[in-house]
Structure 1
Amino acid sequence: MTAIAKPAKKVAPRAHKPGKSAAVPSAAIDAANAQRKEPMGRDVLVPLDKLTLSEANVRKVHHEEGLVELAALIESQGLLQRLSIVPLEDDRFGVVAGGRRLRAMQILAAANRWPADQPIECKLYAQGQAVQVSLTENSGRQAMHPADQMEAFRRLIDDGLTVAQVASRFGVSPLTVERRLKLARLAPRFLDLYRADEIEPDQLQALALIEDPAAQEAVWDGLSPYDRSAWRIRNAVTQEACSADSRLARFVGLDSYEAEGGSVRRDLFSSPEDLSGIYLDNPTMLQALAMDKLRGLEAIVKEEGWSWVACSLESDTSAWRRHGREGQSEREPTPEEAETIERLAAEQRKHADAYDQHQDEGDPDADDYELIEQQLCEALDLADENLMAARAALLYWASAQLARAGTLVRLDHRGEVVIERGLVRPEDRQATPRESGDIPRPDPESTERVATRPEFSEKLMRDLTAHRTAALQAALLQNPQVALAALVHRMAETVFSLYGSGDDIVKVAVRVTSDSTLAEEASEYGDSPAATLLGDAEAMWGDRLPGNPEALFRWLLTQPQETLLELLAYCTARSVNAIAARPRTTANHSDALAQALGLDMADWWVPTAGRYLGHVSKAKALEAVMEATGVDPAQATSGMKKPDLVRYCASKLEGTRWVPAPLRALAASSLQDDTAEA
């Protein structure tokens, strides 16, 4: 090998006069090569700081990724392939092939891991051959197949190297080495399929959750050849396990589970921070640990003096819907507290007025409009919080309430503890006018008052339409196609300014109408079929969805479209709120939705004493029986007191499928025509 230039501190490179080529003249090289008829170029040593990327290098697209790995390989293994160079002026040389290797070595020099004058093995070519050499070396190259690299890593480990040593020598992280070793230990059949492009990397990663190669093949062969997606494989492998991101696992804690001897499988190919890639193989143990932890909290709450305390791991609260709810008592404030509350209320009003004034009089095009709005909003929020905190300090549980009511300690769908205080068992609830069925009302036959009084009271209207809302939600839950159309309709309203913009990042507002909201309005809601169906769905989705908000989107991306539509139906259903205080006089969107769903309220509601008959006058109750049966019950009920008449009417209405006007379909002819045409 000819040494054109040697490192400093050994033999200094010979100085050249300006205008002359460095090292050996290219003309001499051309003549020598032509005479010998040998391949062009000869081996030389050139200091690293004398090399630069040549403009004749045909590779113009340069990627930075992998350079650090390449630098580590060169540092540990040496330069295994020479650079192809041509002479430049001023004792410098242009690299026409090997630009990535050059940049990797420059990274080492910049990090003081190589001396700048490190001698580099090169092959010197004439300037006239630069493009031809560069094109030749950059053409026809084929990268190593990943399966070959996986097996090579495994051989190095089997020969005695550690994971850290392999990672250091090849410029990758130890996790990367572990991942490639995991795939290298799959059944040989799968690596052969990978080389033949008959299996995808994500399928290999899913199979790697199984340690036994025979079990890997059993899972693969047990699936249909047309249904071997990574998701299906992972689901088949982990269907009996519980994700570390599930609500029970988040509540117990992964460390506590493992400390008790629970076995765990980790998906090396998921993010280390992603709990959904960790699977707990003993869900029975997990449930027992969760219950023990919850009972510890139950004992603490019991010390508050409640008559009873119960705990539940279920996220479904349907079993507790019939319980009454006590509100905290409020004591009289001290003079100092009253003064503080008044001052905070005045501050809250001042900030609210300032915010409203900015909304009404501010210039939306001003540069500082949004900044001022944000400042006013933050000040108003703080004032609201301070006022609420001052008023909340006056609330307490009276001794009579503690003796009568109890507390439920449960987990919600995110695995967080919810403590519901002031629950009253159905058998402990005192009768209220709503339950007694004998509500004093004005004489229905008083001419003037009957003419002006609404047919249904506001309270009853809200009651009936709350049941209708629950039925709409339950029916939407069973019809994803209509739910999708309803959601798209809501989006279109916003996009085309036909309704109003929401508050979410995509400008679609979703406000949940929860079971508690419906139960406050709808009599005997907990006993309704809609409540049962919605409660079951809530429990099911609560268990399926990851408890971590950051993991929710990643989880959704892995789900089949059918699952997404079912979840969309549930979420859209829960956003429906058709509760109204006045009867509908014209068809609205709730009627369109009911018609699209084929909703018949007789399937979801029956006229019991608690739901209807006890809330209306005798005349309205008798009118209902007349409409339902065609028989006038006036003579048969003559002289009956209200409770007896209510029971009589309830027995006559049983099985008739009669519903009052607010629950009946109210469809405009245009709506019917449009639906028929569709």
Structure 2
Amino acid sequence: MSSTSTAKETEMTVMTQPEMNEASNARARTKGRGKKGAGGAASAVSATPMTPPPSDPTVRDLLVPLDRLMLSEANVRTVHLEDGLDELAALIESQGLLQRLCVVAGAADRYAVVAGGRRLRAMQLLVQRGAWSASQPVECRCFDEGRALEVSIAENSGREAMHPADQMVAFQRLIDSGLSTAQVAGRFGVSALTVERRLKLARLAPRFLDLYRVNQIEPEQLMALALVDDPAAQEALWDGLNPYERSAWRIRSLLTSSACPADGRLARFVGLAAYEAAGGAVRRDLFSSPDDLSGVFLEDAGLLQTLALTALRERAAAVQAEGWAWVECSLETDFAALRRHGRLAMERRDLTTEEAQVLETLAAEQRACADACEAHEASGDPEAGDFEALEQCLAEALAAADDRLAAAESGGWTWTPGQCACAGAMVRLDARGEVQVERGLLRPEDRAGQTRGTGPGIHGNQGNGDEERAPCDEVDAARARPEFSEKLMRDLTAHRTAALQAALVHNPHVALVTLVHRMAETVFGLYGPGDDVVKVLVRPTGDGLLGQEASGYAASPAAEVLGAAESDWGDRLPGSPAALFDWLLGQETDTLMALLAYCTARSVNAVAARSQGGTHQGDALALALGLDMADWWRPTPACYLSQVSKAKVLDAMREATGVDETAATAGMKKAELVTYAAGKLEGTRWLPKPLRSRSNRLAPT
């Protein structure tokens, strides 16, 4: 080949000696890699001696400039995943191309890659990053075009990836040879944390890696054992457990039983930084997310308790300065102490003339905003283009007026000096690790002659005292003007309830988690907003209610699943209540779990008249089940399109298809538009916001 011909392949010289080994090849490849094209393509494609397979003289080994390579249509790999591509690019950059590409000759001095497409993409990524020249010479083996398909199939078949245990040990050998964690990470295209995790597992007792190689231990169990560094302690723990007790959860709980998790209420209150600054020992689970505090364990429970009580007493000192007769501190979440106390009510104080005028003005503003909302709802035209925008504007103005009035009214209540002189306060931590101040408490011995009041300043619960106050965002959500009508919201969420039930029927594990969660939050007072979708009393949510709320429920996929399950259990359960318990005692665990799943499913009731603010338990349940409402609901005229305004119908088509149909549908009557939209939305899997997953509801459209 002429030295003046650029960007052309150079056929490698045929040698008589045996083919070079892989180490020699790597050294030869390393000499030329990464050189940017100051000398042009001709210098990048100089010949390198290498022997082609003698069994097939039609096969040639070539050096081809990278920018002359393209992916062949004969390449059998059609699924191209991005996962691991950065890692492969880093490997090629640091180690060279250890396996040549298989190509066939194409037109215009180009070559099509029939095997090695992922390596090609990784090298192109290096060019994009400026690490390689576009004319970088690439070792290729060229085949006749007639063999392209079989070569592609052959190279992509029969492969075996390195076992993770072998990679762990290999990384440890590199560290032992003198490389740093950062160097290993850079050479193999992974993060330093990934290297540290693999090294952590490599240092387990060799016995466990041997078990891992023969699939007799799970990766999660290895990660749990890695919480303790001593191999002897790892083996002692493992051997001390029965085989059925060796779950990752059990191992982790035993190793951390004396420690406090960093996401516990005491740790959240004190703060991890303050605990460590005080000299507290910390054990970190290297395999948990860096932001996941549940993987951080505080070893010195006594120190944590002391720090928490000290911080709580500082808060109590500020409360004592308000003039109370006594102030107590409590780190306990038990409400028994609160129940023993009586409560005084805040008293209404006399307002100044200015304050009374402000209240009167704010009340008038609130009434005016409420009247405007009612007038718009009663006489506004839902078909008008600006109806919903004006509705939202009026709702926001009403919510702001409500807030201003409530804030002004709260200033009219106070604790009197006489109340402070005979009553006290309790400063305590709640189940979330937040400080709660209960004022106006009367000790049992001081309750004689005192009466309970009903002022709005009373903290806690007048009844059993074990309910937390609703978060502000829930109140705001309740005040906001709803995006959908109450009837449509109940319709959509009834369909979602049915889908949740149907999905739970086939997932006993999540059903058990759901039931236990509801019981635990009840026992421990860990209530969150929207956590009452599971009615453990039990209050079944059956086909009657769902059929009343969800339009077209009888023909829905969820109704079919639930109906089949109901018929099945109706046939299997004994006919008399007296025989039910004995029948259950005689069943296998799998049968009991399946029945539990069905009964728990039928207790779910996520029907809502308004959009739920904040995090809702129904969202968590849908996420655990992998629920996609597009599998259970379609935007038909009866279920959705006929129940919303023209603007929302157009919004639905635009979100589903990416096309604005406003011009195309101009002049259509509502019925015509609904029919037109139903055809456009068919098969798109579009969902209105109440039926979307929480992350998709919050994402901008």
- State the TM-score bracket (shorter-chain normalisation): 0.5 to 0.7
1:564 is aligned, of 498, 503, 517, to: 517
The aligned residue for residue 84 of structure 2 is 66
| TM superposition shift of 1:197 | 0.9
Q: Which amino acid aligns with 1:3?
A: T
| TM superposition shift of 1:557 | 7.7
Is structure 2 residue 353 aligned with structure 1 residue 353? no
Partners of 1:229 and 1:592 in 2: how far apart? 32
C-alpha contact 1:231 1:558 (8 A) present in aligned 2 = no
> For residues 68 and 366 of structure 1, do their structure 2 counterparts lie closer, same or farther at Cα, with a shift above 3 Å needed?
farther
Instruction: Give the paired residue count.
Output: 471
The aligned residue for residue 146 of structure 2 is 128
| TM superposition shift of 1:334 | 1.6
C-alpha contact 1:4 1:23 (8 A) present in aligned 2 = no
1:3 is aligned, of 2, 10, 23, to: 10
> For residues 153 and 384 of structure 1, do their structure 2 counterparts lie closer, same or farther at Cα, with a shift above 3 Å needed?
same
The aligned residue for residue 263 of structure 2 is 245
Partners of 1:166 and 1:404 in 2: how far apart? 69
C-alpha contact 2:521 2:527 (8 A) present in aligned 1 = no
Partners of 2:576 and 2:377 in 1: how far apart? 40
| TM superposition shift of 1:368 | 5.9
> For residues 591 and 360 of structure 1, do their structure 2 counterparts lie closer, same or farther at Cα, with a shift above 3 Å needed?
farther
* Cα RMSD, aligned residues only: 4.2
Is structure 2 residue 397 aligned with structure 1 residue 379? yes
The aligned residue for residue 181 of structure 1 is 199
Partners of 1:93 and 1:268 in 2: how far apart? 46
2:64 is aligned, of 46, 54, 57, to: 46
Of the structure 1 ranges 363-372 and 89-98, higher mean CA displacement relative to structure 2 is found in 363-372
2:345 is aligned, of 317, 321, 327, to: 327
Is structure 2 residue 427 aligned with structure 1 residue 409? yes
Partners of 1:375 and 1:503 in 2: how far apart? 25
The aligned residue for residue 214 of structure 2 is 196
| TM superposition shift of 1:560 | 6.0
> For residues 344 and 506 of structure 1, do their structure 2 counterparts lie closer, same or farther at Cα, with a shift above 3 Å needed?
farther
The aligned residue for residue 549 of structure 1 is none
| TM superposition shift of 1:376 | 3.5
The aligned residue for residue 123 of structure 2 is 105
Partners of 1:425 and 1:572 in 2: how far apart? 24
The aligned residue for residue 394 of structure 1 is 412
Is structure 2 residue 282 aligned with structure 1 residue 264? yes
Partners of 1:193 and 1:147 in 2: how far apart? 10
Of the structure 1 ranges 189-198 and 379-388, higher mean CA displacement relative to structure 2 is found in 379-388
Q: After superposition, give the CA deviation of every residue in 1:151-208 in whole Å (9 maximum; x if it has no partner).
A: 1111111111111111111111111111111111111111111110111111111111
1:445-524 equivalences in 2 (<5 Å): none
The aligned residue for residue 308 of structure 2 is 290
TM-score (norm 2): 0.60
Partners of 2:150 and 2:46 in 1: how far apart? 21
| TM superposition shift of 1:361 | 5.4
| TM superposition shift of 1:332 | 1.6
C-alpha contact 2:344 2:452 (8 A) present in aligned 1 = no
Partners of 1:176 and 1:145 in 2: how far apart? 16
The aligned residue for residue 151 of structure 1 is 169
The aligned residue for residue 539 of structure 1 is none
Q: After superposition, give the CA deviation of every residue in 1:273-309 in whole Å (9 maximum; x if it has no partner).
A: 1111111111111111101111111122211111111
1:226 is aligned, of 244, 258, 261, to: 244
C-alpha contact 2:10 2:46 (8 A) present in aligned 1 = no
1:71-110 equivalences in 2 (<5 Å): 71-110=89-128
2:234 is aligned, of 216, 222, 226, to: 216
The aligned residue for residue 74 of structure 2 is 56
2:335 is aligned, of 317, 331, 336, to: 317
Partners of 1:142 and 1:407 in 2: how far apart? 68
Is structure 2 residue 317 aligned with structure 1 residue 299? yes
C-alpha contact 1:409 1:417 (8 A) present in aligned 2 = yes
Larger Rg: 1
Partners of 1:310 and 1:571 in 2: how far apart? 22
| TM superposition shift of 1:591 | 12
> For residues 348 and 233 of structure 1, do their structure 2 counterparts lie closer, same or farther at Cα, with a shift above 3 Å needed?
same
Partners of 1:559 and 1:163 in 2: how far apart? 43
Q: After superposition, give the CA deviation of every residue in 1:304-354 in whole Å (9 maximum; x if it has no partner).
A: 111111111011121121322222233222221111100101111222333
Partners of 1:364 and 1:61 in 2: how far apart? 48
SS in structure 2 opposite 1:381?
A: helix
Partners of 1:211 and 1:573 in 2: how far apart? 35
C-alpha contact 1:33 1:40 (8 A) present in aligned 2 = no
Q: After superposition, give the CA deviation of every residue in 1:474-494 in whole Å (9 maximum; x if it has no partner).
A: xxxxxxxxxxxxxxxxxxxxx
Partners of 2:362 and 2:576 in 1: how far apart? 55
SS in structure 1 opposite 2:358?
A: helix
Partners of 2:526 and 2:179 in 1: how far apart? 58
TM-score (norm 1): 0.62
Q: After superposition, give the CA deviation of every residue in 1:244-295 in whole Å (9 maximum; x if it has no partner).
A: 0000000001011111111111111111111111111111111111011111
SS in structure 2 opposite 1:144?
A: coil
Partners of 2:421 and 2:493 in 1: how far apart? 43
Partners of 2:247 and 2:357 in 1: how far apart? 67
Partners of 1:244 and 1:428 in 2: how far apart? 40
C-alpha contact 1:41 1:125 (8 A) present in aligned 2 = yes
Partners of 1:591 and 1:200 in 2: how far apart? 38
Partners of 2:115 and 2:492 in 1: how far apart? 58
Q: Which amino acid aligns with 1:57?
A: N
The aligned residue for residue 275 of structure 1 is 293
Q: After superposition, give the CA deviation of every residue in 1:601-631 in whole Å (9 maximum; x if it has no partner).
A: xxxxxxxxxxxxxxxxxxxxxxxxxxxxxxx
SS in structure 2 opposite 1:139?
A: coil
1:163-178 equivalences in 2 (<5 Å): 163-178=181-196
Of the structure 1 ranges 113-122 and 371-380, higher mean CA displacement relative to structure 2 is found in 371-380
> For residues 590 and 211 of structure 1, do their structure 2 counterparts lie closer, same or farther at Cα, with a shift above 3 Å needed?
closer
> For residues 317 and 284 of structure 1, do their structure 2 counterparts lie closer, same or farther at Cα, with a shift above 3 Å needed?
same
| TM superposition shift of 1:69 | 0.6
Partners of 2:163 and 2:336 in 1: how far apart? 56
The aligned residue for residue 659 of structure 2 is none
Q: Which amino acid aligns with 2:10?
A: A
1:340 is aligned, of 358, 373, 383, to: 358
| TM superposition shift of 1:422 | 1.3
> For residues 159 and 433 of structure 1, do their structure 2 counterparts lie closer, same or farther at Cα, with a shift above 3 Å needed?
closer
Partners of 1:259 and 1:413 in 2: how far apart? 25
Q: After superposition, give the CA deviation of every residue in 1:91-124 in whole Å (9 maximum; x if it has no partner).
A: 1111111111100000010111101011111112
C-alpha contact 2:342 2:452 (8 A) present in aligned 1 = no
> For residues 572 and 505 of structure 1, do their structure 2 counterparts lie closer, same or farther at Cα, with a shift above 3 Å needed?
farther
SS in structure 1 opposite 2:401?
A: helix
| TM superposition shift of 1:409 | 0.7
Higher RCO (CA-CA < 8 Å; seq separation 6+): 1
Partners of 1:397 and 1:414 in 2: how far apart? 27
The aligned residue for residue 622 of structure 1 is none
| TM superposition shift of 1:674 | 9.8
SS in structure 1 opposite 2:109?
A: coil
Partners of 1:592 and 1:135 in 2: how far apart? 58
Partners of 1:360 and 1:376 in 2: how far apart? 13
Partners of 2:40 and 2:434 in 1: how far apart? 73
Partners of 1:557 and 1:266 in 2: how far apart? 28
